[in-house]
Amino acid sequence: MNAKDYSYPDNILENRVILITGASDGIGRALTLRAASLGAQVILHGRNVTKLEAVYDEIESVSSNLRPSIALMDLASANAESYQSLASSLTEEFGRLDGLVHNAGILGERFSIEQYDAVLWQQVMHVNVTAAFALTQVCMPLLQAAEDPSIIFTSSGVGRKGKAFWGAYAVSKFATEGLSQVLADEHRQGKLRVNCINPGATRTGMRLAAYPAEDRNALKTPDEILAAYIYLLGPDSKGVTGESLDAQ
């Protein structure tokens, strides 16, 4: 079975507590809505409360007995205390995490390495890699408290093969693949599975910023690429770890 063609029953994520970063827009938003419709207790992470509340309201209007939660935190400025406080409130409210999806990310600018701004480089590496490391670290006890926990990191085609002018974004995605592999190997004997997904070209704001001239209608929408995410978050991927899957 190929994960991108995975089909699933409509209660596949029932009662799973799942934290999704960057739930306010693009792929994260679509995944959050889908996971909630499949029975998950979703925690919507983001930095923009208005956008998060719109997703929250959309979930409440269509489903479910499980009320979503909002975790407001700007990954660019969060400090150790912010991460600890998020983990403490999750511990208090849920006591475990069945899924953690590191989806939030920024593109930076499309410059050559020679011309890349050093401050921007640090920002991209920080939001795309260091923040995912810090969040993973504080969430580890919550993941260990779940029966069948799963972490998903978000990679990219340019995180597997370097490409001119993709600068810090590409390098951050190589680092993300590395972080995922190291963590997966550290937990090879345990119940925690750790994997990457490369979404592939998807119709979002980030893609538009990277390719302003392309035909957007030729791209898959976020809604159309979610099967691999659901596969890795649900019970059918038990034992799958250290992999990097393609959503398309």
205 binds ligand NAP, rule: CB under 6 A: yes
41 binds ligand NAP, rule: CB under 6 A: no
Q: Please, which residues bridge with residue 245 across strands?
A: 197
Question: Is-catalytic flag, 169?
Answer: yes
Q: Report which residue type is found at 110.
A: R
Query: 83, 116, 169, 231: which is the annotated catalytic residue?
Result: 169
For ligand NAP, the binding residue among 17, 19, 28, 227 (CB under 6 A) is 28
Distances in Å between the Cα of 119 and the Cα atoms of 70, 122, 156, 167, 176 are: 30, 5, 22, 13, 20
Give 3-state DSSP helix, strand, coil % of the chain, rounded to 5: 45, 15, 40
180 binds ligand NAP, rule: CB under 6 A: no
The two structure tokens encoding residue 29: 């938003």
Residue list 47-66, contact with ligand NAP (CB under 6 A): 47-48, 51
User: Cα angle at 77 between 72 and 81, to 5 degrees?
Assistant: 70
Distance CA 13, CA 34 (A): 10
Residue 86 Cβ vs ligand NAP, minimum distance, rounded to whole Å: 12
Residue 219 Cβ vs ligand NAP, minimum distance, rounded to whole Å: 7
String marking each residue 107-146 x if it binds ligand NAP according to CB under 6 A: --------------------x-------------------
Q: Rounded to 10 degrees, what is the CA torsion of 88, 93, 96, 100?
A: -80
19 binds ligand NAP, rule: CB under 6 A: no
Residues in contact with ligand NAP by CB under 6 A are 22, 24-28, 46-48, 51, 74-76, 103-106, 127, 154, 156, 199, 201-202, 204-207
